[in-house]
Amino acid sequence: MPDESSSRPALRGRTAVIAGVLGFIVLLYVFRVGTGFHGRLRVFYYSYFSDIVIPFYMYFVMFLGERRVRLLRNWRVKALLVFGVASLAEVLQAFGVPLFGRTFDPLDFAMFAVGTLLAVLADRLVLERFFPDRPPGRDGHPA
């Protein structure tokens, strides 16, 4: 078992990343960025912004759990879980169950995919460079 003290700086870094992502998302909502948009951009923002941002954030919440939950070490698993949960919520809305919203919109599925894809790209292209000490078991690395 790895020394817990050696992983603390990495864990703090992960926590800082998640806090930064959440903080940025909260600021976008608090400062009501969409009020400055007009026309189609305003409609798009109010209709789909959350459908992109929430899966993005959900992915990175799972990023924190990689150290303890081996299954979450694979980006594909995280992506499938995020897209699956978001899609399940949308399907439930179609049947009148208000989970994470009230209105069924088939385009939400595409926005969930965009948010999930953006999270995967951020993970694979950016964060892997900042956190090379991520736990083993990722994409063919020895477990």
What is the average per-residue pLDDT within 11-32? Answer: 82
The boundaries of the domain holding residue 33 are 4-130
pLDDT tens digits for 99-141?
A: 888 899 999 999 999 999 999 999 888 877 777 766 655 554 4
With respect to residue 84, please indicate whether it lies within any of the assigned structural domains. Answer: yes
Long-range contacts of 101-107 (CB under 8 A, 24+ apart): 101/50, 105/47, 107/47, 107/48
With respect to residue 140, please indicate whether it lies within any of the assigned structural domains. Answer: no
pLDDT score for 135: 60
pLDDT tens digits for 46-89?
A: 889 999 999 999 998 888 888 889 999 899 999 999 999 999 99
Please indicate whether residue 3 or residue 45 has the higher confidence score (pLDDT): 45
Comparing CA positions, the residue from 128, 112, 46, 33 lying closest to residue 79 is 112
With respect to residue 95, please indicate whether it lies within any of the assigned structural domains. Answer: yes
With respect to residue 142, please indicate whether it lies within any of the assigned structural domains. Answer: no
What is the average per-residue pLDDT within 37-51? Answer: 91
**Number of domains comprising the chain:** 1
> Given a cut of 60, is residue 94 above it in pLDDT?
yes
pLDDT score for 8: 63
With respect to residue 67, please indicate whether it lies within any of the assigned structural domains. Answer: yes
pLDDT score for 3: 47
With respect to residue 141, please indicate whether it lies within any of the assigned structural domains. Answer: no
State phi, psi for 95 to the nearest 5 degrees: -100, 15
The answer for residues whose C-beta is within 8 angstroms of residue 118's C-beta and 6 or more apart is 52, 56
With respect to residue 80, please indicate whether it lies within any of the assigned structural domains. Answer: yes
pLDDT score for 97: 94
> Given a cut of 70, is residue 90 above it in pLDDT?
yes
Comparing CA positions, the residue from 52, 30, 24 lying closest to residue 108 is 52
Please indicate whether residue 11 or residue 117 has the higher confidence score (pLDDT): 117
The three-state DSSP-derived secondary structure of 46-100 is HHHHHHHHHHHHHHHHHHHHHHCCHHHHCHHHHHHHHHHHHHHHHHHHHCCCCCC
What is the average per-residue pLDDT within 35-54? Answer: 91
Give the number of other CB atoms < 10 A from CB of residue 33.
12
The answer for residues whose C-beta is within 8 angstroms of residue 37's C-beta and 6 or more apart is 45
pLDDT score for 140: 45
With respect to residue 65, please indicate whether it lies within any of the assigned structural domains. Answer: yes
